[in-house]
Amino acid sequence: MGFLKRHFRTTLWTAVAAALACLVFFPTVVHTQTVTVPQTGVVVHNANLRAGPGTQYAIIGSAPAGTRVQVTATNDAGNWYLLSNNKWIAGFLVDLNGGSQAEDSVLPTVTPNITTTAAVAVTSSSASDPAKRAVATPSPTPAPKSGNDFVLVERRLWDVVENGGALDGPSVHCGGGRVLKVNVLDENGSRINGVAVQVQYGAREIEVTGAQGKGDGVAEFVLGGGQEVKVIRNNDGALVTSDVATGLSTNPEGIDTESLLSAHFCQDEASCAHFAATGGCRGHFSWTVTFQRQK
């Protein structure tokens, strides 16, 4: 009997020792997985927000430098970010390290199904000819729905030559323009006369498309430091709802980097920052915006 007890105790301690050895030499493996979560970022320069991932999509908002944003996805190339408000921003304009990120967090990619026509850009050759500028017309655009009677389908800073200036390599010779040109289109992309457009700052002037002799469907304003503008009445006199075109500044530090690049006032992010910091062409910028009536 004593032999059996001793044999049992020996066997038991042998089993315990083996189990401890497994814990020491073969630790439990904990499986982890990457978690997909929205990421917080900070906008590093004044930015346009677009209806899709690219400059060919309509501008549907803006974000000043310092704005905190929630990034929920990227395009396939990873260079445009989809925000939590379903608007897109160029990736280089957002610092994702500016917010608290979950460890090992990643963002999904999405493919947009939005179809928007790019705004018509005026080339340097046509910009020098006022007659050619007068007939430049955005093509009919299936505008993104905002719920308003008139939606914003174009917001464009005039390029250096178009605004009366010149380029000498990377050097900019500023023009003298400070114009806000507003185009208004109907549901089919044709210009509409008789539509009332109002700027939102200062004296809040109202102009009617076609009434100034600037061309069909056109209303123009002289810009001060900056403006916002919207449509307030249809061509039948009825009050309407409208998107608001924002950020139409004549001060370089108030103009988003994407617009400065597109208009050839600078060549990259660093030169744009220098241009803005040194007050390049201050007071002499012009803008074109286009609204389209919805069915």
| Residues in a beta bridge with 212 | none
Q: How many CB atoms lie within 10 A of CB 26?
A: 8
The pLDDT assigned to 52 comes to: 86
Residue spans of beta strands (DSSP E) within the chain: 39-43, 47-50, 59-63, 68-74, 80-83, 88-90, 94-95, 150-157, 166-168, 171-173, 179-185, 196-199, 206-208, 218-222, 226-233, 245-249, 287-293
| pLDDT score for 130 | 39
Q: Has residue 282 got a pLDDT over 80?
A: yes
Least confident range of 14-28, 66-80, 257-271: 14-28
Among 281, 270, 258, 278, residue whose Cα is nearest residue 62: 258
Task: Determine the Cα–Cα distance for residues 288 and 220; give it in Å rounded to an integer.
Answer: 9
Residue 13 — pLDDT band, cuts 50, 70, 90? low
Q: What is the DSSP secondary structure assignment for residue 28, as one 8-state letter?
A: P
The two beta strands, 39-43 and 68-74, are: antiparallel
Span 10-37, average pLDDT: 46
CA angle 173/90/155 to nearest 5° reads 55
Is the per-residue pLDDT at 7 higher than 70?
Answer: no
Domain boundaries, the chain: 39-98, 124-293
Kind of pairing, strands 179-185 and 287-293? parallel
5, pLDDT greater than 80: no
pLDDT value, residue 57 = 79
pLDDT at 172: 95
Q: Which tens digits make up the pLDDT trace of 210-250? A: 999 999 999 999 999 889 999 999 999 999 999 999 999 99
Cα distance between residue 149 and residue 14, in whole Å: 83
Q: Measured between alpha carbons, how far is residue 168 from residues 211, 261, 264 in Å?
A: 38, 16, 11
DSSP 66-85: T-EEEEEEE-TTSSEEEETT
Could you tell me which residue, 60 or 185, shows the higher pLDDT? Answer: 185
In this prediction the pTM is 0.60
CATH, range 39-98:
2.30.30.40
pLDDT confidence tier of residue 18, bands split at 50, 70 and 90: low
Residue 142 scores a pLDDT above 80:
no
